[in-house]
Structure 1
């Protein structure tokens, strides 16, 4: 009888334990941390590192969650983006400072080349069912510099350049008046200098006609930044100087009648006749 009773108690405890595990696992599955796989930032500018805590409606936190942002690979516990370790002091702040806020994103100020890398959001949650830690899938922070255009008068070509962190997904594409130009693969002149934190992508195209040239930087399928160059061919230096006469419109010259000459010619014989008539009259008298 005792064995049967003990067996029943043991079975009941096992059922309770399984029920507890089921409840805990169900609670855990209802708490997730979402991060984007890639975050891009311009060199020297601020970047937002998104992190969103998602809870089911039936999950209630009994105390404020605890947030950590780890730098991967994490070599020590002190290497954290949040709370900021020595390398990140006064450069990182919470976007939402509410105690029970589910927005765990941070603002990363003045991003530099050395900041490129992987960052993981970790949130410790305490509910009535217990305490759990949830991890995001980590975000890769990639950095790019300002895109520049260089116009070469020697071979009449346009060179588009930009510095980016080491990532094979970066691609430069050049368009002319909205049409993609056929160019080779973007060359990375910094590949031979592996100690540099960036590579220089460049793409050159011949300027065959005027119009708008646009250089776009893509990371995989996403447009990161673009720059536009308006090109107008220069005018020839001696334009208009060596123009043949046939190129000029004909001009009509209007000559006026010499009425003064006609009058003078008529007056001379008239005066001569008057003088002769006057002399004849004097002689008769």
Structure 2
């Protein structure tokens, strides 16, 4: 399973941090922040982040944000997960070396369904739910990730990690990460259909209108197919159809942007056409039958004389 990039600008930062510093410190802060914004912008637009790559980059971002003397919340732009599976939504609290928390941080996760722009509270510190689990209940921990159990189509949407914190330098304030878009795909179907099984069809259900693309590949190249999209209330069904011509393997691939999410291989085992020899003996026997009959009649007539 792979995650994919989301079109988004660099994360928002607390404007009060530089305001409380001297003009020289503020100038350095702004220069470093600009550099970090460029890094984040390139990162979000140029990489397809797997879960492990995102963990690595999250550590890099925390180190960079530390040079800005800020408190930041980092979360990935997009996660792609399988239907009915479990999904970890990463969120990490990053503190620069000269920042120190006072008291406990309070976690809030908000959720906006795919067809809505309104954010609603999903879970907060100390709350217990069966379908959403806070992975680390230690409020002093930097890990603020949650686990969604048995993901369904209704879980598609945007998730935002927010924290209420108090530091020695800035007092009490709330900070939030950039939203994570969760998109879902179902099990792929890739089978023969049509008259005499002459058509190969690939189908898969995915979250509605979020950038999924389906394709059929043969001998390393994408084939021209008959495409169809069926829109349901909670998801779309993508369909690709081709006519079988060659006896080799076909692949059906699901992409999100340029990232390959999953693929299925269909082994085509069409029967070989056997070349039988001409039945010359049978032809000869068929031709001999009237000849034998004629000879029998001729012999019978001659014997009567």
Tell whether the structures are fold-level matches, with TM greater than 0.5. Answer: yes
CA distance in 2, matches of 1:90, 1:58: 38
1:42 alignment partner in structure 2? 82
- Flag the 1:159–1:101 CA change in 2: closer, same or farther, 3 A: same
CA distance in 2, matches of 1:231, 1:52: 47
CA distance in 2, matches of 1:91, 1:207: 44
2:202 alignment partner in structure 1? 160
Residue in structure 2 matching 1:109, options 140, 149, 165:
149
- Flag the 1:74–1:167 CA change in 2: closer, same or farther, 3 A: closer
- 2:162 paired with 1:122: yes
- 2:140 paired with 1:140: no
- Flag the 1:82–1:23 CA change in 2: closer, same or farther, 3 A: farther
**Alignment partner of 2:20: what SS?**
helix
Gaps of 5+ in 2: 1-15, 30-65, 281-305
CA distance in 2, matches of 1:162, 1:19: 48
2:34 alignment partner in structure 1? none
Q: How does 1:191-230 map to 2 (within 5 A)?
A: 193=232, 196-230=233-267
CA distance in 2, matches of 1:134, 1:20: 15
- Flag the 1:101–1:164 CA change in 2: closer, same or farther, 3 A: same
2:277 alignment partner in structure 1? 243
How far residue 218 of structure 1 moved from its aligned partner, in angstroms, is 0.9
- Conserved? CA contact 1:171–1:186, under 8 Å: no
CA distance in 2, matches of 1:156, 1:37: 42
Residue in structure 2 matching 1:80, options 115, 121, 125:
121
- Conserved? CA contact 2:125–2:137, under 8 Å: no
CA distance in 2, matches of 1:184, 1:231: 17
- Flag the 1:142–1:186 CA change in 2: closer, same or farther, 3 A: farther
- 2:131 paired with 1:131: no
The one-character-per-residue Cα deviations of 1:83-128 (angstroms, maximum 9, x if unpaired) are 2999x93111122333322121111001111111111110122111
CA distance in 1, matches of 2:130, 2:153: 18
TM-score (norm 1): 0.67
1:100 alignment partner in structure 2? 140
- Flag the 1:85–1:207 CA change in 2: closer, same or farther, 3 A: farther
**Alignment partner of 1:211: what SS?**
coil
1:91 alignment partner in structure 2? 131
**Alignment partner of 1:114: what SS?**
helix
The one-character-per-residue Cα deviations of 1:174-219 (angstroms, maximum 9, x if unpaired) are 1124x122325842122xx5xx101110111222222221111111
The one-character-per-residue Cα deviations of 1:5-47 (angstroms, maximum 9, x if unpaired) are xxxxxxxxxxxxx999414997996111112221112111111
Provide the alpha-carbon RMSD of the alignment: 3.2
- Flag the 1:33–1:173 CA change in 2: closer, same or farther, 3 A: same
* Greater Rg over alpha carbons, structure: 1
- Flag the 1:168–1:69 CA change in 2: closer, same or farther, 3 A: closer
2:20 alignment partner in structure 1? 22
CA distance in 2, matches of 1:74, 1:19: 30
- Flag the 1:120–1:213 CA change in 2: closer, same or farther, 3 A: same
The one-character-per-residue Cα deviations of 1:222-262 (angstroms, maximum 9, x if unpaired) are 222211111111345xx47x42379xxxxxxxxxxxxxxxx
Number of paired residues?
Answer: 218
- Conserved? CA contact 2:247–2:270, under 8 Å: yes
Gaps of 5+ in 1: 1-17, 247-285
2:109 alignment partner in structure 1? 69
TM-score (norm 2): 0.63
